[in-house]
Homo-oligomer: A and B are copies of this chain.
Amino acid sequence: MKIGRVVGTVVSTINSPVFDNRKLLLCDLLGTDGRPTGGYTIAVDAVDAGAGEVVLILDEGTGARQIVQQRTAPIRAVIVGIVDEMVVDGALVVAPGM
């Protein structure tokens, strides 16, 4: 799993009920220092994440379909949680209000 920061949205007409009430969020992938690595992914939002929030991203199709409780869904990456706190080498890298 990776952490990312929500930086945008993608609107696309996709013929699959999994997208009916869910947003596709564009997330910059973050390194262990909390900074963007240059990579990104587009993930289905399963936790109502907002712009700028740091999130935990699962990038695996089977687990992604389990999260949205649909056996068939054309998805691979899903936001499974908002990161409340990340500590690296004893230092807070992500925390509320940072």
| A interface, CB within 8 angstroms of B | 1-3, 7-16, 24, 26, 28, 31-32, 40-43, 47, 56, 58-67, 72-78, 80-89, 93
Assess A86 versus B8: contact at CB under 8 Å? Given A80-B14, A81-B14: yes
Asked whether A75 lies within 8 Å of B1 as measured between CB atoms, the reply is yes
- Describe A's contact surface by its main secondary structure: strand
Q: Which residues of B sit under 8 angstroms from A28, Cβ to Cβ?
A: 32
Asked whether A1 lies within 8 Å of B61 as measured between CB atoms, the reply is no
Q: Which residues of B sit under 8 angstroms from A16, Cβ to Cβ?
A: 67, 80
Asked whether B8 lies within 8 Å of A32 as measured between CB atoms, the reply is yes
- Set B41, B62, B64, B93: member contacting A2, Cβ < 8 A: B41
22 A-B pairs within 8 Å (CB atoms) are namely: A1-B41, A1-B42, A1-B76, A2-B42, A3-B42, A8-B87, A8-B89, A10-B56, A10-B83, A11-B84, A11-B85, A11-B86, A12-B56, A12-B80, A13-B82, A15-B81, A16-B80, A31-B40, A59-B76, A61-B63, A63-B73, A74-B78
